């Protein structure tokens, strides 16, 4: 991958956008196992190869769980 792209703030903002969109689509679909309502259950992750100013934004992984 191009180094200039990895330095670009737009690139990381786009990644976060995609993350949010996928998370929202998954949440809206409900639990694939039981069809129950999904609740936020984010968990921490350690971003690697990520510029320091972006680390905080990438330090959570979106996750959901139902009551099942």
35 in the Ramachandran plot: left (φ > 0), alpha (ψ -120 to 50) or beta? Answer: left
Question: Residue ranges of the alpha helices (H) in 1-68?
Answer: 3-7, 9-28, 52-55
**Closest separation in Å from C-beta 39 to Zn ion:** 10
Distance of CA 67 to the CA centre of its chain: 21
Q: Is 37 in the site for Zn ion (CB under 5 A)?
A: no
Angstrom distance (rounded) from CA 51 to CA 40: 26
Q: Is 31 in the site for Zn ion (CB under 5 A)?
A: yes
Q: Is 65 in the site for Zn ion (CB under 5 A)?
A: no
Q: Which is nearer to Zn ion, 39 or 60 (CB)?
A: 39
Q: Which of 4, 25, 33, 52 binds Zn ion (CB under 5 A)?
A: 33
Query: Interface residues with Zn ion (CB under 5 A)?
Result: 31, 33-34, 36, 66, 68
């Amino acid at each position: 991958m191009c180094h200039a792209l990895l330095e670009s703030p737009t690139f990381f903002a786009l990644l976060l956008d995609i993350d949010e969109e996928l998370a929202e689509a998954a949440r809206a679909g409900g639990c694939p196992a039981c069809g129950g309502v999904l609740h936020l259950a984010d968990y921490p992750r350690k971003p690697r190869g990520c510029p320091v100013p972006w680390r905080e934004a990438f330090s959570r992984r979106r996750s959901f769980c139902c009551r099942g």
